[in-house]
Amino acid sequence: MFSLGREMENSSHLLSPSSPCTSTFGGSLPFSSSPQQTGCSNDHLSLPLSPISFPPSPSSLSPATAESLHSFSPLSHCTASQGLEGQHIQCFSTATVPDQDDLTCLNWLHQRGNLLPLQPLPKITTLPQLESFTPTQPLSPAMSKPPYSFSSLIFMAIEDSPDKRFPVKDIYDWIVKNFPYYRTATGGWRNSVRHNLSLSKSFRRIQRDKSQSVGKGSLWCVCPEYRPALLEVLRKTHSYHSTNINLLNKPVLLEGAEFGVPAVCDSMEMSDPLSHTLLLSSPSTQIMAADNTPFSENPPCPLTPDHEELVTMESVEYHQSDVSEDMEKDPLSDSGYIELHYYESHQYQYLVLPGDTELDLETVEILQLDAEAQEAAGSLLDLAGGVY
């Protein structure tokens, strides 16, 4: 079960067509180049490989994979049953499949405030049981240069703006606000921003409304036809840095049984840190202690986001009744992104998924195991929305 993700790289039989749209992974920005051909309308990105069916039919699986799925079926199918050996894993998903007119929508950016692996994740406090959670400084060097190109930074800034358009100065401010590196960087990067704006076909200059004009210069927006490519580059960069760096190179400890939950994992492959990742469905998931005491009633410690630490399997229970109808909708549901957050509590690391992605564990493993697996498994967009 714990090599499932990697195994599924080659498990094309698990993949069933779910989206009429395919595209290639260009991986390059449309910088002075033609737009990436997605062959799709509404910016729907996907990969040549189709996503996994949900849930995969056990009969269609290789023995090892089927065994894996069997072991993880509780979480995969979000129903209550006995999970890992001696381990109680429950996940009830009440999320409905969201309308995703635009699966690449980044509206969540300004809601979420963060899609960056090197940044704190303050919005996670929407988890009711994590009210006391206080973001800490990222462990990664906050002052190091971000991995994102200027085009990506500009793209994020514009997408994060309420009107999807920003003057240059606001782009500066956004970058400085979100990437402390640029607070102290010399001014040359601003020149680079302007250079990118002017040179890249991805961005378009809009004349300000003269009647409401305040400030110098024009407004800049993202050209819709280049948006999928920008999004793809951003996603790949984000994925690479959050997955490969945060997970794949980390040691694995299987010690301890927080909340009194048996620390199983004897059968786990020690080499696969994701095998021991606790998956939650944010924001409507509760971490449960062994006695079913909600996490909020028995918090072991504040969670710290983005900790590159150890991973172990833990109990999780998701109570449908605990989810109010008006609970904040995960902005990621419309984004086409699957944002994976890692929160650490002692020796445990929790992987928090958007609440309504309805991803099953094997899919998640594929998404995280490595970049190649991600590409082989299909885009997050299809996984999130294309199969229902």
The nearest distance, CB 186 to DNA, in angstroms, is 6
Beta-bridge partner residues of 166: 220
The nearest distance, CB 154 to DNA, in angstroms, is 9
The nearest distance, CB 36 to DNA, in angstroms, is 10
With respect to DNA, which residue has the nearer C-beta, 13 or 205? 205
Strands ordered across the beta sheet of 304-305: 278-282, 348-354, 341-345, 304-305
The nearest distance, CB 31 to DNA, in angstroms, is 3
With respect to DNA, which residue has the nearer C-beta, 47 or 221? 221
- CB atoms < 10 A from the CB of 217, how many? 12
Quick check: 348 and 259 in contact, CB under 8 A? no
With respect to DNA, which residue has the nearer C-beta, 97 or 199? 199
Provide the greatest CA pair distance for the chain: 69
Beta-bridge partner residues of 205: 220
The nearest distance, CB 55 to DNA, in angstroms, is 35
- For binding to DNA (CB under 7 A), which residues are involved? 28-33, 145, 148-151, 167-169, 172, 186, 188-189, 191-192, 194-199, 205, 213, 215-218, 220, 233
Which residues, 6+ apart, have CB-to-CB distance to 84 below 8 Å?
71, 264, 265, 267, 313
Tokens standing for residue 343:
């929160």
With respect to DNA, which residue has the nearer C-beta, 41 or 216? 216
- CB atoms < 10 A from the CB of 99, how many? 9
With respect to DNA, which residue has the nearer C-beta, 134 or 191? 191
With respect to DNA, which residue has the nearer C-beta, 130 or 234? 234
Beta-bridge partner residues of 88: 82
> What does each C-alpha distance from 373 to 3, 11, 95, 370 come to in angstroms?
12, 10, 26, 5
Tokens standing for residue 223:
């050209």
The nearest distance, CB 195 to DNA, in angstroms, is 4
